[in-house]
Amino acid sequence: MQGYGKAFVIGTTLLAAALATACASRRHDLASDSISAQAPFSRTFPGTGDAVCWSVKRAMLSQGYMLDRATDTGVLTGTRDFQPDPKLNVSYHLQTTCADNRNGTSIVFVTATREDSQLQKMKQSTSMGIGPATITMPSGSAKVLGVVRRETIQDPDFYHRFFQLVQGFADQEALAQRARSHADAGQAQARAP
């Protein structure tokens, strides 16, 4: 009987080691699949960090995103909600980071997630009691929004469209800066004796 106990312990230990190895190798595979040089999450734009970051902010606002951290330098987080169905709420969360490359260009990083929430029935209960004696009874149900799906958006077209919008605003900003420079130069010449 003692031999069976040792065999059981050894077998259990080997099984646990095999499962841990399988889990570790699977985790490694998932991590390597999520890292790619072809990721659509960043783009470099001509222009200073201030001009490009302002263009990112304008792009987000133009698409109806409510900015959560509008005062952080270089980091913008926004959310847009819509309801395609009376029982379904869809939220897009967009986080952008922009930085000046100090060579006349700036880089913008974007990550977008989609979260679907659906109306679900949730049972409610009421607890009553005095001291240690407590009784809990069902008291009905309520409808609440519960998250049913959450994912990072991987579609390169989504990011391409966002970056095109940013580029349009960056081009407008560059034109405005050139116009200001010409106006300043004209005023300086007019003041010269």
Of the candidates 62, 101, 56, 58, the residue with the CA atom closest to the CA atom of residue 75: 56
Q: So what's the pLDDT on residue 26?
A: 47
Contacts of 168 (CB under 8 A, 6+ apart): 59
pLDDT tens figures, 124-165:
777 777 767 777 767 667 777 788 999 999 999 999 999 999
Residues facing residue 43 across a β-bridge: 108
CB 120 within 8 A of CB 149: no
Q: Which residue has the higher pLDDT, 12 or 142?
A: 142
Q: So what's the pLDDT on residue 164?
A: 97
Residue 116 has pLDDT above 90, yes or no: yes
- 114 falls in which pLDDT band (50, 70, 90)? very high
Q: So what's the pLDDT on residue 9?
A: 46
In angstroms, rounded to a whole number, what is the distance separating the alpha carbons of residues 44 and 53? 12
Q: So what's the pLDDT on residue 28?
A: 45
* CATH value of 37-124+139-176 in 2.60.40, 1.10.10, 3.30.310, 3.40.30: 3.30.310
Residue 14 has pLDDT above 50, yes or no: no
Mean pLDDT of 102-113: 95
Domain boundaries, the chain: 37-124+139-176
Instruction: Please state the pTM of the whole predicted model.
Output: 0.67
CB 173 within 8 A of CB 55: yes
Residue 183 has pLDDT above 80, yes or no: no
From start to end of the chain, where are the E strands? 42-46, 66-67, 75-85, 88-100, 105-130, 133-152
H-state helical runs in 34-138 = 49-62
CB 100 within 8 A of CB 74: no
